[in-house]
């Protein structure tokens, strides 16, 4: 049983202290002084999700610290027309092409994916390995070239589809104030500063967490019934 009397936990409403446990429910007091009776099994799953999210955030913070000041930050432009999911060359295989940038990009650099068709920022990624060459057609690129340089990436956070990402009209980039007027080519890279990157990355992480929270939405309805 994950809960103990006088233990402090949290759900999507807020932090609470367990006052009493009477299976299958428990009485809790929130920080604002209100009390409620909650279903133990439902709250256990919500608490496990919150703990996992906190651990992921801590791991992300530690990874950023370890990467240090030599990390570069880029906007990666792609043709990402959505059809209920992100489908464009290299996405499913978790690779990113660097045709003209292979010498400047390196392991540890961070990317924000920008959809040229959807005009949205929709994913955060980290380059996780050294450059290698491969036939781009293996990753569904349409080209006559036999080899391109590629980097492996991990996707740290992403909207459910490019069209549900962050609209470009809602973002002001300090390091690229004319971004909306730029005519970016597919597969191109644009350097941005760390502050702009972290702003977009935080926003996209929140979008990802909201999608996770939707899985618990039905549980929250039950929770209200319990109360």
CA triplet 108, 133, 60: central angle to 5 degrees? 20
Just give the CATH number of 71-212: 3.10.590.10
Q: Which residues of the chain have pLDDT under 70?
A: 1, 63-69, 81-86, 210-227
DSSP structural state of residue 162: G
Same CATH fold assignment for domains 1-69 and 71-212: no
Cα(91)–Cα(102) distance, integer angstroms = 18
Cα(191)–Cα(128) distance, integer angstroms = 18
The closest alpha carbon to 36, from 66, 15, 59, belongs to 15
CB 196 within 8 A of CB 175: yes
The pLDDT value recorded for residue 134 is: 97
Q: Give the residue ranges of DSSP H helices in the chain.
A: 40-67, 194-215, 217-226
**Under CATH, which architecture does the 1-69 domain have?**
Roll (2.30)
Query: What is the pairing mode between strands 95-97 and 166-167?
Result: unpaired
Q: Which two tokens stand for residue 183?
A: 């005519």
| Averaged confidence pLDDT in the chain | 88
Report residue 158 CA to chain centroid gap.
4
Q: Which two tokens stand for residue 143?
A: 């080209």
pLDDT tens-digit map of 180-205: 999 999 999 999 999 999 999 999 99
Q: What is the Cα Rg of the chain in Å?
A: 22
pLDDT tens-digit map of 86-118: 678 999 999 999 998 988 999 999 999 999 999
Cα(28)–Cα(21) distance, integer angstroms = 9
The closest alpha carbon to 191, from 91, 19, 73, 32, belongs to 73
The pLDDT value recorded for residue 66 is: 62
Return the domain boundaries, the chain. 1-69, 71-212
Instruction: List residues bridging with 132 in a β-sheet.
Output: 150
Q: Which two tokens stand for residue 145?
A: 């070239």
Cα(110)–Cα(62) distance, integer angstroms = 15
The pLDDT value recorded for residue 217 is: 46
Q: Which two tokens stand for residue 225?
A: 């019934």
């Amino acid at each position: 049983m994950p809960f103990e009397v006088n233990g402090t936990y949290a759900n999507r409403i807020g932090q609470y202290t367990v006052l009493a446990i009477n299976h299958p429910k428990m009485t809790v007091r929130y920080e604002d002084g209100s009390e409620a009776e909650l279903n133990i099994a439902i709250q256990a799953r919500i608490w496990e999700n919150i703990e996992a999210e906190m651990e992921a955030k801590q791991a992300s913070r530690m990874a950023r610290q370890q990467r240090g000041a030599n990390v570069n930050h880029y906007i990666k432009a792609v043709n990402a027309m959505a059809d209920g999911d992100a489908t464009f060359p290299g996405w499913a295989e978790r690779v990113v092409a660097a045709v003209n940038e292979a010498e400047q990009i390196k392991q540890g650099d961070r990317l924000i994916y920008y959809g040229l068709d959807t005009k949205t920022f929709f994913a955060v990624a980290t380059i996780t390995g050294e450059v290698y060459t491969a036939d781009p057609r293996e990753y569904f690129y349409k080209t006559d070239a036999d080899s391109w340089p590629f980097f492996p990436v991990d996707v740290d956070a992403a909207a459910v589809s490019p069209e549900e990402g962050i609209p470009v009209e809602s973002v002001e980039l300090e390091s690229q104030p004319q971004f909306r007027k730029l005519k970016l080519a597919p597969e191109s890279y644009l350097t941005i500063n760390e502050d702009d990157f972290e702003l977009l990355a935080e926003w996209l992480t929140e979008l990802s967490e909201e999608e996770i929270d939707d899985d618990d939405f039905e549980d929250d309805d039950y929770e209200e019934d319990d109360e």
